[in-house]
Amino acid sequence: MPIKIQSDLPVKEILEKENIFVMDENRAVHQDIRPIQILILNLMPLKEETELQLLRSLSNTPLQVDVSFLMVASHEAKNTATSHLNKFYETFEQVKNRKFDGMIITGAPVEQMEFEEVDYWEELKEIMEWTKINVTSTIYLCWAAQAGLYYHYGLQKRMMDHKVFGLFSHKVKNRKIPLVRGFDDEFLAPHSRHTEVPAADIHACEALTVLAESEEAGVFLCMAQEGRQIFVMGHPEYDRVTLDGEYKRDKGKGLDIQIPKNYYPDDNPDNKPLLLWRAHANNLYTNWLNYYVYQITPYDLAGTPF
């Protein structure tokens, strides 16, 4: 699948070196097809790293995907250059009158705060409400999944007595639902969080359907409104060394951090981590784009009866 991005987006060169088909605006306008319009609200501090991870994840179908990046205006990013944000990101005011086939809202390192204490919470609530009528299907990742379950369904998160950190095994539920089509009975996925929405509360919510769950890490994947809302509790988009970087960063700060589970061979941080979750991560995003975005939205988004 060609990913349509701005020709000078810094991660473009990395994607091309990985043999991922990216297309700039000049080539895209000469193709007589309507690309799938995907909006990514990037709440992570290292925005370029997250851009790369998500663009990789969206690169495995024959569809043409036109990606736009969104930032919150009510928070000042401290780890990404202002020039990068001004050039490649839009604010909600700039996009709120448009419609999108799909949207991804990323996690954020604010999980130990109450939702209402987050400085962009009011803006995020406005965006989540807006998705109901302007986006065909929205994926909420990690903290955003907890925020979405709280905002849309009133489910509370809770602090855990230890950080869920590493690779965890999950079992597929409701196999006939297209989002998990092609998944093995059990699969690995990365988690990195101090909080959770209790599995019992998710199962008790009639609006939600659980699609994958772990005995150790809880619910990994659930959805509502026949896929209009998809909640992913972990980080399937993480690359090989993301958990490694988080572990060594926290270790360097003197924090009490445990070695990520099931991640380093022989639990030795000097060993190169094995990439054991990429196939299922790609499958998740491919199924989403195909069954919950492409197959649902009409050619003319402007006339979409949401």
Active site residues: 142, 235, 237
Question: CA 37, CA 242: separation in Å to the nearest integer?
Answer: 27
Q: Sign of the C-alpha dihedral, residues 26, 3, 43, 136?
A: positive
Closest CA to 188 of 167, 209, 204: 167
Question: CA 67, CA 38: separation in Å to the nearest integer?
Answer: 5
What residues contact 275, with CB distance under 8 A and at least 6 apart?
239, 240
Judge residue 232's burial from the number of C-beta atoms within 10 Å of its C-beta, 0-12 exposed, 13-18 middle, 19 or more buried. Answer: buried
Rg (CA), the chain: 19
Question: CA 8, CA 25: separation in Å to the nearest integer?
Answer: 10
| DSSP annotation of 266 | G
